[in-house]
Amino acid sequence: MAGEIVEAGAGVEKFKKGDRVFVSHHVPCYNCRYCKSGNHTACEALHTGNYDPGGFSEFIRVPEVNVKYGTLILPEGMTYEDATMIEPLGCVLRGQKAVNIDKTHTVLILGSGISGLLHVQLAKFKGAAVISTDVNEYRLNKAVEFGADYAVRDCQYSADELKKMNNGNLADVVIVCAGAKEAVNDALNSVDRKGTIIFFAVPGEDIALPSVRFWRDEMTVSFSYGAAPEDLRDAMQLIGGNKINIRKMITHKLPFSEIQEGFKLVSEGKRSLKVVMVPDEPKG
């Protein structure tokens, strides 16, 4: 969520009325054992915080901890629409911290929705070769537009097809951005020896891992949830420096009065990526 401060509470010194800000809905406490060890996304406060009453409101009360740890002044020239991409990109940054992706890596991204496409862009920014999959032709075309070297419809994807595109090799890094069970199977079949699978999305059931193979080939499995404040600051810098193309990912901007249409566009996912909701223009 991003907007303009219209009132500052008692004791607030860092921010003032009129400031343009991004506000994170989930922030850590910085006091628990997880935070003190640098594992901010494991903090219970991060998993339970929110706005009041919620992000789809014209006016929002920001809790004290969110003001303290999750509010950022927007750089000059960054629009509120740009700022809605800070949190999604921050989560992607956090996920890729599980492995130091570089130009020697081939990265397979399963799912080309908004998260998958941000992973595509970030992996390309780091110099990797990127292969993306999805069920939707529109999103596959977007994956190529945002830098993927290959984009494959998931019904045509297999580990053998991956090898054809990757000089006979499997992927060094596989990032799962789809909740389908088939995506899990593709990930398990596509990761190379010493490779890493990052589960950015998971299916609604437990995952069975081929533990003997993963032990013998020394593979790594990582799960990623949320973003810490430092990830959000890094994301804002990348967006502000035009390192990641986020404006073309915002396909729709609708007023709150059309919020049901916004949800419909997202749930259908046919020709939309990021749908941004904004307050209605004043009447009269």
Q: 205: phi > 0 → left, psi -120 to 50 → alpha, else beta; which?
A: beta
Which CATH number is 130's domain given?
Answer: 3.40.50.720
Same-domain check for residues 116 and 32 = no
Cis check: omega of the bond before 53, within 30 degrees of 0: yes
The residue segments making up the domain with residue 137 are 99-223
Same-domain check for residues 154 and 198 = yes
Q: Is residue 71 assigned to a domain?
A: yes
- What whole-number distance in Å separates Cα of residue 76 and Cα of residue 89? 19
Which CATH number is 73's domain given?
Answer: 3.90.180.10
Same-domain check for residues 137 and 54 = no
β partners of residue 276:
253
pLDDT at 98: 87
pLDDT at 37: 96
Same-domain check for residues 60 and 45 = yes
Task: Please count the structural domains in the chain.
Answer: 2
Q: Is residue 258 assigned to a domain?
A: no
Buried b (16+ CB within 10 A) or exposed e, 38-76: eebbbbebbeebebeeeeeeeebebbeebbebbbbebee
Tell which residue, 92, 84, 114, 75, has the closest CA to residue 240. 75
Note the pTM of the prediction, 2 decimals: 0.96
Same-domain check for residues 125 and 46 = no
Same-domain check for residues 7 and 113 = no
Tell which residue, 284, 277, 262, 231, has the closest CA to residue 86. 231
Q: How many Cβ atoms sit within 10 Å of the Cβ of residue 158?
A: 14
**Single-letter amino acid, residue 247:** R
pLDDT at 284: 67
Same-domain check for residues 58 and 132 = no
Q: Is residue 127 assigned to a domain?
A: yes
Same-domain check for residues 238 and 209 = no
Same-domain check for residues 146 and 74 = no
Q: Is residue 266 assigned to a domain?
A: no
Same-domain check for residues 30 and 118 = no
User: pLDDT 10s digit of each residue in the chain, 284 long?
Assistant: 999 999 999 999 999 999 999 999 999 999 999 999 999 999 999 999 889 999 899 999 999 999 999 999 999 999 999 999 999 999 999 999 989 999 999 999 999 999 999 999 999 999 999 999 999 999 999 999 999 999 999 999 999 999 999 999 999 999 999 999 999 999 999 999 999 999 999 999 999 999 999 999 999 999 999 999 999 999 999 999 999 999 999 999 999 999 999 999 999 988 999 999 999 988 86
Tell which residue, 1, 17, 19, has the closest CA to residue 9. 17
pLDDT at 49: 87
Same-domain check for residues 61 and 113 = no
Q: Is residue 145 assigned to a domain?
A: yes
pLDDT at 26: 92
* DSSP characters over the chain: -EEE-----TT--S--TT-EEEE-S----S-SHHHHTT-GGG-HHHHH---BS-SSSSS-BPPHHHHHHHEEEPPTT--HHHHTTHHHHHHHHHHHTTS---TT-EEEEE--SHHHHHHHHHHHHTT-EEEEEES-HHHHHHHHHTT-SEEEEGGG--HHHHHHHTTT--EEEEEE----HHHHHHHHHHEEEEEEEEESS--SSPPPP-HHHHHHTT-EEEE-----HHHHHHHHHHHHTT-S--GGGEEEEEEGGGHHHHHHHHHH-SS-SEEEEEPPPPP-
Q: Is residue 104 assigned to a domain?
A: yes
Sheet of strand 20-23: strand arrangement? 2-4, 20-23, 71-73
Q: Is residue 63 assigned to a domain?
A: yes
Same-domain check for residues 125 and 238 = no
- What whole-number distance in Å separates Cα of residue 128 and Cα of residue 186? 20
Q: Is residue 105 assigned to a domain?
A: yes
